[in-house]
Amino acid sequence: MSDQPKPLTTLDVVAMKRAGKKIVSLTAYDALMARMLDASGVDLILVGDSVNQVVAGRPTTLSATLDQMIYHARAVQGAVRRALVVVDLPFLSYQVTPEEAIRNAGRVLQETDAAAVKLEGGVTMGPTIRALVDRGIPVMGHVGLTPQSVHALGGYRVQGREEGAAARLLADAHAVEEAGAFSVVLELVPSALAARVTKELAIPTVGIGAGAGCDGQVLVLPDMLGMNPAFTPKFLKRYADLDGTIRAAVSAYAEDVRAGRYPGAEHGFE
Ligand code: KIV
């Protein structure tokens, strides 16, 4: 018998909603972290275009490129045995025409072996989602705060608070489902509205800053590991203080090197 776990598919993720099982999701951008997440039982690993801010240090996700996403996704997919890997389509790789979206999403699947892509937008992206799904490319939607539209939205703020905005968000989520997406991220959405969307949709919702009523939760890994102490949004819970741990380890190493304590005799070769 093989000890190889069965890789999760998009259909398995949809089935988790029907079975009432919460979907556990985190971002990963490299093989090292992806291996740990997968071994810890994370269901869905998102190669988010947040990599452009978190790893590349850019101010927004807008300058992420398709080649950059493919580079990170290939590293993640290669390290994962069970989790479903979903790759963000970067800004301008899918908004111009459905044909470009097919070509670019197709490249992601072909060059990374990942099984699905994620794109931002609701009603306006419906035809693009449909074009991808009809060609065998599974799509995860993303509505609410859509970071690729940060300049149009006037910042990273909660969406759907006013009546009209809530109705539009609901329509966006339904449009994503009707276009054939297998799931949808709800980002920075009031908890009651996210719970309503979750109830009305047959596909799973995965929330970030959208309350406990979603079918699953996603966080940006370095944020939840406490590697980014300056980032303190209300929705974030830190599960570790890696900033403190890493600084302490590096200081200890520096002290050892300066004092001649490292390397010790046991670290040398005959
Ligand atoms: O890019 C990303 O990491 C995301 C998550 C925040 C959902 O889209």
**Alpha-carbon distance 193 to 178, whole Å?**
19
**104-108 contact pairs (CB < 8 A, 24+):** 104/66, 105/132, 105/137, 105/139, 106/135, 106/137, 107/66, 107/70, 108/66, 108/69, 108/70, 108/73
Distance 86 CA to ligand 1 centre (A): 11
Q: Which of 23, 25, 26, 27 to mutate to test the pocket of ligand 1 (most atoms within 8 A of CB)?
A: 27
Distance 147 CA to ligand 1 centre (A): 8
Ordered structural domains, the chain, with CATH: 10-224 (3.20.20.60)
The residue ranges of the chain whose pLDDT is under 50 are none
Question: Using CA positions, which residue lies closest to atom 3 of ligand 1?
Answer: 48
pLDDT of residue 7: 97
**Alpha-carbon distance 2 to 231, whole Å?**
43
Distance 262 CA to ligand 1 centre (A): 40
pLDDT of residue 1: 54
Question: Using CA positions, which residue lies closest to atom 4 of ligand 1?
Answer: 48
Q: Which of 42, 139, 185 to mutate to test the pocket of ligand 1 (most atoms within 8 A of CB)?
A: 185
Distance 187 CA to ligand 1 centre (A): 8
pLDDT of residue 2: 65
pLDDT of residue 227: 97
User: Catalytic residues, which ones?
Assistant: 187
Q: Are 45 and 28 in contact (CB under 8 A)?
A: yes
DSSP annotation string for 46-70: EE-TTHHHHTT--SSSTT--HHHHH
pLDDT of residue 245: 98
Give strand pairing partners of 76.
none
Question: Using CA positions, which residue lies closest to atom 2 of ligand 1?
Answer: 48
The pair phi, psi for residue 140, each rounded to 5°, is -105, 130
Q: At what angle do helices 98-112 and 66-79 cross, to 10 degrees?
A: 40
Q: Are 38 and 81 in contact (CB under 8 A)?
A: yes
Give residue ranges with CB within 6 A of ligand 1. Answer: 27, 46, 48-50, 88, 185, 187, 208, 218, 220
Q: List, in sequence order, the alpha helices (H) in the chain.
A: 10-18, 31-39, 51-54, 66-79, 98-112, 126-134, 150-153, 163-178, 191-200, 221-224, 242-259
